Amino acid sequence: MIALGENRYGKSRVRVMRVERAGERHTVDEWNVEVWLKGDFQSCFEDGDNSRILPTDTMKNTVYFLARGSKAANGEGFATELVTYLLNNNPQVEEAGANIAATPWAHIRAGGKEHGTAFIQEGARIETATVTCSRDAKPTVVSGFRNLAILKTAKSGFAGYIRDKLTTLKETHDRLLGTLASGEWKYAADGVDYSAARARIMDALLNTFAVHDSLSVQQTLYAMGKAALETEPGISEINLSMPNKHCNLVDLSPLGADNPNHIFVPTDEPHGSIEACVRRAG
């Protein structure tokens, strides 16, 4: 016997640029929105009966409509508004979810001060927010980031590892440590100021990365996750991914020159993959 399994449908890559105008100082939010629905859609999949289906084009329009009137200060707030609206207006839906990838923009400094209406994109970093909510339940909020490029040129080494006949890597106590990090954390409480919590968590992660005396990427990842949990009591766990973007020391001896950890070749293929979840015990 063949049966339909777990399923959902929705709309992806709904692009929104929201401009808030407060006199001569504006703020911008750039969001890439994904939204999805779960429910009893078996008749659509198996029989082509669309009577319980909200068109994905309507979902796209819902994003724009709600963005126009939204007072949300961040992606977490807007995603919560979005899933709540969809549940309240679609009784056939059992669960709604939304993911928002936000591109941060900062005011350009011109003439020694921030310009009110001109902006610069803050690198390749993306801020993420995912909200899911089942009917008659509280929303689950997960925040995070991806494409965070960070590098340290001191306090990083790698030694004492397993060596076998295929090992060619040389031990080092002074190397470059670079990564394109991503992370997500889950909130354990309601009423969180998501923007303030994000700022505290990012400060904890970056400060720990900078000052930690790293014996491995794994050790530094754990120290960063531990610091985030100690800094922000409103989160229950944090998942971090820190691929090791290698910077290989160039052998300049054939050219008659030394290289005291001065010239490197950055490469990201192949790279080490290090991932872990750090959570509160008990």
Same-domain check for residues 157 and 238: yes
pLDDT at position 21 is: 94
Residues 98, 155 within the same domain? no
CA 235 to chain centre: 15
271 included as an active-site residue: no
Read off the CATH number of the domain in which 239 is found.
Answer: 3.10.270.10
In a domain, residue 75? The reply is: yes
User: Which pairs count as long-range contacts for 150-154, CB under 8 Å and 24+ apart, including other chains?
Assistant: 150/178, 150/179, 150/181, 150/206, 150/209, 151/176, 151/177, 151/178, 151/179, 152/176, 152/177, 152/178, 152/209, 152/210, 152/214
Q: Give CA–CA dist 217/179, Å, rounded.
A: 9
Tens of pLDDT, residues 188-214 = 888 899 999 999 999 999 999 999 999
Residue 231 is among the residues annotated as catalytic for this protein:
no
Q: What pLDDT shows up at residue 224?
A: 98
Is 1 within the bounds of a domain? no
31 found inside a domain:
yes
Query: Is 132 among the domain residues?
Result: yes
Active-site residue among 11, 186, 212, 245? 11
168 a catalytic residue: no
Q: How far apart, in whole angstroms, are the C-alpha atoms of residue 116 and residue 112? A: 12
Cβ proximity of 33 and 16 under 8 Å: yes
Closest to 141 measured CA to CA, from 78, 189, 73, 187? 187
Report yes or no on 240 lying in a domain: yes
Whole-prediction pTM value?
0.91
Whole domain around residue 74: which residue ranges?
Answer: 9-138
- Count the Cβ atoms, other than its own, within 10 Å of residue 88: 11
Q: Strands of 75-165 (E only): list them.
A: 93-103, 105-110, 113-121, 126-134, 140-152
Count structural domains, the chain. 2
Task: Give the model confidence (pLDDT) of 72-125 as tens digits.
Answer: 999 999 999 999 999 999 999 999 999 999 999 999 999 999 999 999 997 889
Out of 26, 27, 38, 56, pick the active-site residue. Answer: 56
Residues 174 and 123 in one domain: no
Give 10-37 pLDDT, tens digit per residue. 999 999 999 999 999 999 999 999 999 9
- Do 205 and 123 sit in the same domain of this protein? no
